[in-house]
Amino acid sequence: MTVTMVKCACDRCNCEISLEEAIKKGDNYYCCEACANGHVNESSCQNSKCNCGGN
């Protein structure tokens, strides 16, 4: 089994996720709902190692 890793499509995010775990929105892949929704209300990325959003 091959696992393909992609960078989260959020410009502020530094996360890499597997396609199997990514959240797909349009043609883009995101690491969490906060990134996929554009950090509405400055919601934080759910990856504690990431510094995008409200972190």
- Domain of residue 5 covers 1-55
Residue 16's nearest CA partner among 3, 1, 26, 25 is: 3
Reported confidence tier of residue 54, pLDDT bands at 50, 70, 90: low
Q: What's the distance, CA 22 to chain centroid? A: 7
Distance, in Å, from the CA atom of 6 to the CA atom of 15, rounded to the nearest integer, reads 9
CATH for 44: 2.30.170.10
Reported confidence tier of residue 55, pLDDT bands at 50, 70, 90: very low
Domain count, the chain: 1
Distance, in Å, from the CA atom of 15 to the CA atom of 53, rounded to the nearest integer, reads 12
Extended strands (E) in 1-55: 5-7, 16-18, 23-25, 28-30
The tens digit of pLDDT for each residue in 1-52 reads 678 999 999 988 888 999 999 999 999 999 999 999 998 888 888 877 777 7
pTM of the model: 0.82
Q: Which pLDDT value is given to residue 25? A: 95
